[in-house]
Structure 1
């Protein structure tokens, strides 16, 4: 089915590749860029920012028919939070980190909030089009998380509360999409990562979920099956940012297998 919609206006802040299929992937914390006008107030150095961003999730997002990849840093504007909380204004908002050296001017806050509005508008137009074309869609909201917060040479966090892949499905309608979720999770476990079966569990680290999937479920309650994936950074060194390509490729292969396992559920 050809795509006849008008694409969103080009922006440096995110890229949307529209494909022919019902599977959407979103890497909304993949970006690292911070706009020039914010740099005088930015207290975090690039390495500190990158440690809390989700690098390489854009690579995982390539399994989607349609791919959404945000290029700006979550510290400029966080698209997984409500508009009024999308820019950190206190350390409690960002794991105790002091993001800014002084309070941001209102003009800078408004500029970031306007980007939040534009992103949601672009995503709404995209989803409206895909729902019209395919009826039901699968949206994979892809993130990553740190597990070595005590330092480069410290022991990693206990695996009990830190699965290799944490599936977020707090607002997913299990009456409609429970079977899809079960098949998806089962397929993720089938692809070894560095020779071992990945630990995949649901709603372990973030039982309250994120605003982006919750918003999508509110707007498209019966049409969008939104699954959040939180990958533990076993595919990279979160302190040096060095990537383990073999682990990353295994994780991508597992995600590709999981998508193939549930794709028939979204056939028109």
Structure 2
């Protein structure tokens, strides 16, 4: 991928040019193979920590990976438009507001050996804000062209600490207009349930494990109310959630399931809300 400044990324998006790039800060990547009213994001896929603050981080790579969402970016490789975080959520969490995106303590563990300085915090927050400026610009262009857009906000979750049986897929609906978009959600659920996995029970639930209250869903709801953000959590059955090691066959099966489900669901959404353009994945 080429390296581009935020300004250069805006230039390509506004001209509706096809490109793939890592922003020059290294914070996230963007790939646009075609301009379609569907975006996939993996905002917890990254594990980078800036060199300037890495020596103060109390958690090692394995501890961080436990709460990050490894491989979620890989799951989206077949889709036309993908935004993927490269920085760790432990540096700043894109699914929290700018005011709350830097952890002091997370999941019962202290994060920093000493607090970040005002400048260091500001530098982290600026990276958070940069991602949302790019997302905002991209959505504005797609909405201008198609009137509405669907955003698949992909995450994963640890399940061994959950006392009850948890579904393989959880759709969070807190910021979704269920009256308007319930047919789209039911269509996605149906497509996900078509998949069969060896020795894994498939299941899809709404708001059972998480309710979709993250900042990205809130940002889209507040700033792009004509579009739909669908937060989707995948149970970490595709990896050892403790070590972070993948189970390649299951990871491949989950990836194929999401490819089919998102592609058909995006086409369904488009027929109903975005001018009838057919959307398929990059790989048939």
Q: TM-score, normalised by structure 2?
A: 0.84
Preserved contact between residue 212 and residue 231 of structure 2 (Cα < 8 Å)? no
**Closer/same/farther in 2, CA of residues 18 and 218 from structure 1, 3 Å limit:** same
Give the drift of 1:147.
1.8
1:153 is aligned to: none
The superposition leaves residues 39-70 of structure 1 with CA deviations (integer Å, 9 ceiling, x where unpaired) of: 12111111111111100000122243200011
1:14 is aligned to: 28
Gaps of 5+ in 2: 1-11, 276-284
**Closer/same/farther in 2, CA of residues 178 and 167 from structure 1, 3 Å limit:** same
2:230 is aligned to: 227
Give the drift of 1:16.
0.8
Preserved contact between residue 192 and residue 198 of structure 1 (Cα < 8 Å)? yes
Give the drift of 1:197.
4.6
1:132 is aligned to: 144
2:128 corresponds, among 107, 111, 116, to 116
1:136-215 alignment runs, 5 A limit: 136-149=148-161, 157-160=162-165, 162-194=166-198, 196-207=200-211, 209-215=213-219
1:5 corresponds, among 5, 10, 16, to 16
Preserved contact between residue 63 and residue 256 of structure 1 (Cα < 8 Å)? yes
**Closer/same/farther in 2, CA of residues 208 and 200 from structure 1, 3 Å limit:** closer
Preserved contact between residue 150 and residue 269 of structure 2 (Cα < 8 Å)? no
1:77 is aligned to: 92
In 1: Cα distance, 2:184 partner to 2:89 partner:
30
**Closer/same/farther in 2, CA of residues 9 and 57 from structure 1, 3 Å limit:** closer
Preserved contact between residue 25 and residue 63 of structure 1 (Cα < 8 Å)? no
In 1: Cα distance, 2:270 partner to 2:84 partner:
22
The superposition leaves residues 73-107 of structure 1 with CA deviations (integer Å, 9 ceiling, x where unpaired) of: 00111000000100012x2xx21111111111111
Tell me how large the CA RMSD over aligned residues is. 2.0
Preserved contact between residue 14 and residue 72 of structure 1 (Cα < 8 Å)? yes
Q: TM-score, normalised by structure 1?
A: 0.89
In 2: Cα distance, 1:260 partner to 1:114 partner:
33
SS of alignment partner, residue 104 of structure 1: coil
SS of alignment partner, residue 231 of structure 2: strand
Preserved contact between residue 63 and residue 252 of structure 1 (Cα < 8 Å)? no
SS of alignment partner, residue 109 of structure 2: coil
Please say which of residues 166-175 and 181-190 is displaced more in the overlay: 166-175
1:154 is aligned to: none
2:265 pairs with 1:259: no
2:44 pairs with 1:29: yes
2:7 is aligned to: none
Preserved contact between residue 77 and residue 113 of structure 1 (Cα < 8 Å)? yes
**Closer/same/farther in 2, CA of residues 144 and 173 from structure 1, 3 Å limit:** same
The number of aligned residues is 255
SS of alignment partner, residue 57 of structure 1: coil
In 2: Cα distance, 1:65 partner to 1:200 partner:
25
Give the drift of 1:109.
0.5
